[in-house]
Each structure stands twice: as C-alpha cells, then as structure tokens.
Amino acid sequence: MPSKIGIIGFGSIGSQLFEKITQDSDLSIAFVFDTDRNKTSALDSSLLPGSFEEIQNREVDLIVEVVSQSWVLEYASIILSFSDLLIVSVTALAIQDLQKKLDAVARKHKTRYFISHGAIIGLDGIRDGRAMIEEVKITTTRPQAGYGLKEKLSERTILYDGPTRKACHLFHIM
C-alpha cells in the first residue's frame, strides 16, 4: 500500500513535490491544501479539502508543510495531534520554545516531526564542524517578493548582516 502524503502549500516547492510524488508508485497524494484556490484549480477536486479542518478527516501518513514560518507556528501542533509532519519552513524553529512544544505534542500523540535541511545546501556540514568553525558567511539570492519587501529594489542589496536566529525573525514571512 503506498504511503499517503498530504501537501500544505502549492507554490513552487509544493507543486514540484506533487509531481515527484505522483511519479512514485510507493507514494500517493492524500490531499493538497492551499488557501489560494487559483494555485490548485487544475487538480482533481477529490484531492482538495475545503478547509483546514477537513484535513483531519483525511487518511494520511505524512503531511509536508511548504507554506511559511507563521503557518508552522499556528498549525504544526494541530497537525501533530493526528499525523507526522515534515517542516520545510525551518526558520519557525528559531522561535524560542516552539521545538519543546512540538516535542510534547508529538510524544502525547505518538507522532513525529521531521525538519528538512532547508534551502541552503551544506548547513548540515557546518553544523557537524561547528566546534572547529569560528565564522560562516552565507550569501543567498532569491526573488525579493520572498522577503516581503514593499519597495522595488533595482540592484542587489544586503538586507541583513548578523546572527541567523535574528534573520529568521526578521524574514519570517517567507
């Protein structure tokens, strides 16, 4: 029996994930949920819960979150009360005590949550070597809409220089 995967968020990552899952005979799509119905309009309506509450009634083995830090803060505990969860918006875990809260909910409901490596390749190697590393500089480029900027920038601009945890708080809208 294929593992049933639910996807929350159907932007670039969610839609690519959907394509990969549908090509794998060991996996199947349990549902796709995105509040922007235009993004999911081409999908079979049986895959589209009408509300977040309906997700709890779906048979699912794992839910993959590809939405935002704020979504993880609001809904991860609810998801863990009935399903395993893969968190892609890992910046949410920079918020103090969230991981402890998720640990408690997962223990109580005998579920698990997984933390993806995120978008920056090689961070696991940096973590492994942290005892020997004094400083790391990471430069990342992405469309400015991903940073929630209201003004249009015409050239590359440094938006932040400092500790990672603070950057997670500043750019939580991603």
| Helix, strand, coil tally for the chain in percent (to 5) | 40, 15, 45
Domain with CATH 3.40.50.720 in the chain: 3-115
pLDDT tens across 112-162, in order?
A: 999 887 555 566 677 677 788 887 777 766 666 666 667 777 787 777 787
Strand order in the sheet with 3-8: 27-33, 3-8, 62-65, 84-87, 113-115
pLDDT in tens, 26-36: 999 999 999 89
pTM: 0.75
Which CATH number does 3-115 carry?
3.40.50.720
∠98-174-61 over CA atoms, to 5°?
A: 60
Location of structure tokens 């991603």: 174
User: Given this model, what pLDDT does residue 14 score?
Assistant: 93
Three-class DSSP category at 11 = coil
